Amino acid sequence: MSDHTAQEMMVVAAARALHNDDVCFVGIGAPSAACNLARVTHAPDITLVYESGTIGTRPTVLPLSIGDGELCDTALTTVSVPEMFQYWLQGGRISIGFLGAAQIDRFGNINTTVIGGYAAPRVRLPGGGGAPEIASHSEKVYVIANHSTRTMVEQIDFVTSLGFGRDGNGRRRHGLKTQGPALVITDLCLMEPGADHELEVTSLHPGVTTDRVRAATGWDIRIVPEPARTPTPTVDELTALRHLYAATDRAHGGDA
Amino acid sequence: MELLSLRDAVARHVHDGDTVAMEGFTHLIPFAAGHELIRQHRRDLTLIRMTPDIIYDQLIGAGCARKLVFSWGGNPGVGSLHRLRDAVEHGWPGSIEIEEHSHAAMASAYAAGAAGLPIALLKGYHGTDLVEHNPNIRFVEDPFTGQRLAAVPALRPDVAVIHAQRADEDGNVLIEGIVGVQKESVLSASRAVVTVEEVVADLAAPSPNSVVLPGWTIDAVAVVPGGSHPSYTHGYSDRDNAFYKAWDAISRDRDTFQQWIRDNVLDGESP
């Protein structure tokens, strides 16, 4: 089905990377859309965990915040926030941590803290929240972000959440046994870390050229010799996603 | 525990210069109490909250805060907290000191405070630049395994302020739904003020494991129906997501923000 937007392609591609047996720690926004799309399509038994303490939640509309009542109402159980971070995340119960990013670099390090210097920032972003420990304790991390030279930069201004570190060896240096960034999903392509942990484009979304990806990336991006072509969203995927967004718009009083 | 009006509860228990934790993880945010702090012109507060949310955006913009201790400072699902940004980026209405953590560390720091420990330990802060900018993030060695662990000071607020579903006449308080760090913030603090939807004869806790704070852990209870709006109270009200979106435009500009505070807080009646 060719009648889709780049944003829809991004969310659909992210949803496809999730499996029925995953236990997914979900961030708000595109990660939440992708996780719930997976749940209502090919992964009905996926366990979705939000940092507000809701475990096994099955929202019918996408939450605006990580603590909307819908998440608690439809959860298997709701635990306190200290328990969520101590037992469930730090305790190693999460298979996929799903994060967004304001800036990301070639080693999958994420900035959501400041643009400019920390003491006198040009733009003060919301900060890390759960992300620093989601990045270190989830077995794998998926990152979803729009692909532009503002987002995909040579040097991020601040490492909020560790990918592979500024030199690619940060996880080893910190003694982390978890995998770290395993997949970066953008509106143009999919990227995965190569043997030296640098991100490589492994799949191009429909209609996207390698030149376009290069122009939208702030570093000399690696592209594997024969990148795959991301399958176009199916009618079922698009219908389910649009249904989720429409239900969400109605629930949140319009103009989502 | 005393049953007080919100005005009296704030006047008696929240003072200029206090370290104040007004908690509620998206749910049960004590907005009415925050507005009462603005009406009573509290100044030089150290405000602690994992997610400052609109409540601290309002207190910061109204000039109540000297310092903010936090871990995620956005308008959830919407974008920036513009009053927080204006204070950090431009020093308006005054400069604000920030102490920035991760959620995992702050949640553990409340739990440590409740447990009477001086510090919280966690496996955390791996490779993040927060470590370079916050001297309250340090590392210690586990004496048994040699493992390197992150340490932060326990949170010990002067006063915790929370909203809850209901209290009984003895001031025992029931909390349901997303319980966040409500219990930890109260038990870590020297004093605690709780606003509730209603006071009932029988708390009717639905389970032997329900989250109940005994009245003797609380200093004041004030009945404020709807006191968590535009946040929500599970079983009583829904989150006003439309207001969270509208706040973006209200708070973006200093004049519209000040007008909103005049119309909705300063000119309002104290409950």
Distance of alpha carbon B231 from alpha carbon B36, whole angstroms: 16
DSSP 3-state of B216 = helix
d(CA B171, CA B194): 9
Residue A69 to chain B, least CA–CA distance (Å): 7
Q: CA dist A181 to A107, A171, A200, B87, B104, Å?
A: 8, 10, 12, 34, 20
Q: Do A52 and B180 touch (CB under 8 A)?
A: yes
- pLDDT of res. A249: 87
Q: Are A135 and A178 in contact (CB under 8 A)?
A: no
Copy the structure tokens of residue B128: 């993040």
pLDDT at A254: 54
Residue B29 has pLDDT above 60, yes or no: yes
* Residues making up chain B, counted from first to last: 271
- Option in B80, B85, B103 nearest A129 (CB): B103
Domain that holds residue A237: 6-251
Closest to B193 measured CA to CA, from B164, B218, B227, B168: B218
Residue type for B130, please? L
Contacts A173 to B, Cβ<8 Å: 127
Task: Give catalytic residues of A, as residue numbers.
Answer: 51
Query: Within chain A, which residues score under 70 in pLDDT?
Result: 1-2, 254-256
Q: Give pLDDT, residue A28.
A: 79
Q: What is the DSSP letter of A205?
A: P
Quote the pLDDT of residue A64.
Answer: 86
Q: Please report the pLDDT score of residue A255 as a whole number.
A: 46
pLDDT of residue A256: 40
Closest residue, chain A, to B147 (C-alpha): A175
Smallest Cβ–Cβ distance between A82 and the set B73, B125, B181 belongs to: B181
pLDDT tens-place string over residues B120-153: 999 999 999 999 999 999 999 999 999 999 999 9
Which CATH number applies to B2-101+156-266?
Answer: 3.40.1080.10
Query: Residue B271 — very low, low, confident or very high, per pLDDT cuts 50/70/90?
Result: confident
Nearest-CA neighbor of B175 among B226, B209, B140, B131?
A: B209
Residue B269, pLDDT above cutoff 90: no
CA distance B235 to A72: 11
Query: Which whole number is the average pLDDT over B176-200?
Result: 98
Give the pLDDT of residue B39. 98
Domain count of chain A?
1
Q: Is A58 left (phi over 0), alpha (psi -120 to 50) or beta?
A: beta
pLDDT in tens, B65-103: 999 999 999 999 899 999 999 999 999 999 999 999 999
- Residue B167, both tokens: 């209290």
Q: How far is B165 from chain A (nearest CA, A)?
A: 14
Instruction: Give me the residue label for tokens 């629930």.
Output: A251
- Provide the percentage of residues in chain A whose pLDDT is more than 70: 98
Q: What pLDDT is attached to residue B85? A: 97
Beta-ladder partners of A78: A54
Taking 50 as the threshold, does the pLDDT of residue B157 lie above it?
Answer: yes
Chain A: give the shortest CA distance to residue B143, in Å: 17
Question: Least CA distance to B52: which residue of chain A?
Answer: A126
Is residue A256 in a domain?
Answer: no
Q: Token pair 């004030």 is at which residue?
A: B222
Closest residue in B to A67 (Cα–Cα): B26
Domain ranges of chain B: 2-101+156-266
Residue in B with minimal Cα distance to A78: B178
CA distance B69 to chain A (A): 12
Label residue B108 by pLDDT band (50, 70, 90): very high
Round to whole Å and give the CA distance between A207 and A97. Answer: 29
Write the burial class of residue B106 (CB in 10 Å: 0-12 exposed, 13-18 middle, 19+ buried): buried
Query: Given the structure tokens 């993880």, which residue do they identify?
Result: B25
Pairwise CB contact (< 8 Å): B178 & A253 = no
Instruction: For residue B11, give every residue at least 6 positions away whose Cβ sits within 8 Å of its Cβ, in sequence order, or none.
Output: B40
Buried residues in A46-70 as b, exposed as e (16+ CB within 10 A): bbbbbbbbbbebbbebbbbbbbbbb
Residues of chain B contacting residue A66, judged by C-beta atoms under 8 Å apart: 26, 76
Q: Which residues of B touch A137 (CB under 8 A)?
A: 123
- CATH number of the domain encompassing residue A214: 3.40.1080.10
Mutate to test the interface with A, among B89, B99, B102 (most CBs of A within 10 A): B102
Structure tokens at B79: 């974008």
pLDDT above 90: residue B20: yes
What does the pLDDT read at residue B98? 97
Alpha helices, DSSP H only, in chain A?
6-16, 30-40, 69-73, 81-83, 131-137, 170-173, 210-215, 235-251
